[in-house]
Structure 1
Amino acid sequence: MTEQQFYEQLKAKGIDLSDQQLGQFRTYYEVLVEWNEKMNLTAITDREEVYLKHFYDSISAAFYLDFSKPMTICDVGAGAGFPSIPIKICFPHLDVSIVDSLKKRITFLEHLADELKLDHVHFYHDRAETFGQNPSHREQYDLVTARAVARLSVLSELCLPLVKTGGQFAAMKGASAPEEREESKKAIQLLGGKETAVHSFTLPVEDSERSIIVIKKAKSTPKKYPRKPGTPNKSPL
């Protein structure tokens, strides 16, 4: 996906990027590739692939969720900043928090935010399990996102405790979405969630399958979740 295709595809979806925003995506790409030589941030470094598989794919959440109003977002395990940083560039009024367990990635993201001149972006070096038990963050966010972090049964335990009652959790998934939805039903219910929508589509250019699973926080998560670090992965609910 060329930068022009990126611009046109987003414009067709009602997201009209300014020259400044397009410049921010250019800088994002350059910083990502530069830092990727020193540390493993992504296996995808070709410009057109990054624009499609990282930038456009991240922003696809905005085709189905309303980011037009002020909102607090927490991105769990954002890695190199996906999906939250591309969404933040498109919707600068959002208040974004990113939690990642690797200090090196947080250092990269802090540098990136400076280079992109982003405000109202907060970075936390922590495990999602301990972060979800922190009273300053537990049940504080309007929307929690995660992309390519873990299977949905595990992800639900890491993300739903952070969503305020009435808020939403959006899991961005590939072709495995139907199977993951089936195996995570019990966990979602136990954690106070209720699946409200599944948006399936294909990425332009390469036609790979994508799904965005939207789960509403119907009631408060029981205090014992998330369990201690490593447990959700070892024994999913």
Structure 2
Amino acid sequence: MDNEFFTKLRKKAEEYDIELEEKQLRSIEDYRNILLDWNKKVNLTRITEIDDFIEKHVIDSMMVTKLVEIKKGASIIDVGTGPGIPGFFLKIARPDIRLILLETVRKKTDFLMEVVEKLEINDIEVLNERAENAAKKKPYRETYDIAVARAVSSMNVLSEFCLPFVKTGGIFVAMKGEKIEEEVKEAKNSLDILGGKIRDIKEYKIGQAKRKLVIIEKINNTPEKYPRRPGMPEKNPL
């Protein structure tokens, strides 16, 4: 056990009023240990230092569970999850949710599957697939209560990746930085096309960094032609 990590994690969770039992704290520590081991051979994250890891990965992810209303047993898809962030931390904070981790890179999904196995996490699926392809398949299309993404892609691109997964009445949560006004404005056309509408923008701070959650409600079905074929959303955003 890494006493320094465990102590700092507990303290930081309390600071942000995030309630975690010892079992949950241990799961986060176990996840980090597996991540650090894999990170020697696969580039999963550059954020490995204890304080940064806790704030920028764990707390930032778990703020979603504090700022977004998530019903008991909600189905959530984490699109472009990378090393399972924010998905794993949402699942640790809210064990009742049903989670799917969607990731294109095979080495990353191999890592995700090892974490699921070693941490013995239930109601979680790892899918090695491009969002543009997965969203066309019946088991995944317009199925989820919530889609979440923490990615550098612009809002109009992320919306085309994520909204097709969300059922009508569900939400897409985009985890973004402080300055998103232009992004949000540019995303209006894509949201109109894809059946989404911005419901709320929640602001919070992680350390000195200001962060925002853009909460988009799915008000209409997404037309079947979306998402377009792989590469098109980035090459020619809506």
Q: TM-score, normalised by structure 2?
A: 0.94
Q: Aligned partners of 1:14 and 1:67: how far apart in 2? A: 17
Residue segments in structure 2 that go unaligned for 5+ positions in a row: none
C-alpha separation in 2, matches of 1:153 and 1:38: 33
> Does residue 20 of the first structure (1) align with residue 23 of the second (2)?
yes
Contact 1:130–1:229, Cα closer than 8 Å, also in 2: yes
Q: Work out the CA distance in 2 between the residues paired with 1:101 and 1:175.
A: 27
Paired residue for 1:47, among 50, 71, 74? 50
Amino acid at match of 1:162: F
Deviation of residue 4 (structure 1)?
3.8
CA displacement 1:106-134 (0-9 Å, x = unmatched): 00000011121111100111100011111
Q: 2:175 aligns with which of 157, 172, 178?
A: 172
Cα deviations across residues 144-194 of structure 1 (Å, max 9, x unaligned)?
Answer: 000024111100000000000000000000133222111101101110001
User: In structure 1, the residue corresponding to 2:145 is in which secondary structure?
Assistant: strand
Q: Which residue of 1 aligns with 2:114?
A: 111
Query: Paired residue for 2:188?
Result: 185
Relative to structure 1, is the Cα distance of residues 167 and 85 closer, same or farther in structure 2, using a 3 angstrom cutoff?
same
Once the 2 structures are TM-superposed, how far is the Cα of residue 224 of structure 1 from its aligned partner? Answer: 0.5
Structure 1 unaligned spans of 5+: none
1:207-218 to 2 correspondences below 5 Å: 207-218=208-219
Q: Name the Cα RMSD after superposition.
A: 1.5
**11, 21, 36: which is aligned to 2:39?**
36
Greater Cα offset, 60-69 or 110-119: 60-69
Cα offset, 1:72, TM superposition: 0.3
Match of 1:231 in 2: 232
SS at match of 1:39: coil
1:60 Cα deviation (Å)? 1.1
Runs of 4+ in 1 over 6 A off after TM superposition: none
Query: What secondary structure does 1:104 align onto?
Result: helix
Cα distance in 2 for residues equivalent to 1:15 and 1:215? 24
Query: Deviation per CA, 1:53-91, whole angstroms, max 9, x where unpaired?
Result: 111111111121123511000000000011110010111
Pairs within 5 Å for 1:53-64: 53-64=56-67
Q: Answer whether contact 2:44 2:83 (CA < 8 A) is retained.
A: yes
Deviating more after overlay: 147-156 vs 102-111? 147-156
Aligned twin of 1:138 = 141
CA distance in 2, matches of 1:64, 1:85: 17
The question of whether the paired residues in 2 share the 8 Å contact of 1:13 and 1:63 is answered with no
Decide whether the 8 Å contact of 2:203 with 2:213 is kept in 1: yes
Residue 14 of structure 1, CA deviation: 4.9
* Paired residue type of 2:216: I
| Contact map agreement 1:3 1:51 (CA 8 A) in 2 | no
Q: 1:163 aligns to what? A: 166
What secondary structure, in the 3-state scheme, does the structure 1 residue paired with 2:167 have?
strand
Helix, strand or coil at the partner of 2:222: coil
Q: Secondary structure at the match of 1:211?
A: strand
Instruction: Give the Cα–Cα distance (whole angstroms) in 1 for the partners of residues 53 and 157 of structure 2.
Output: 27
Partner residue in 1 for 2:80: 77
**In structure 2, what residue type is equivalent to 1:29?**
R
* Alpha-carbon distance between aligned partners in 2 of 1:177 and 1:225, rounded to the nearest angstrom: 24
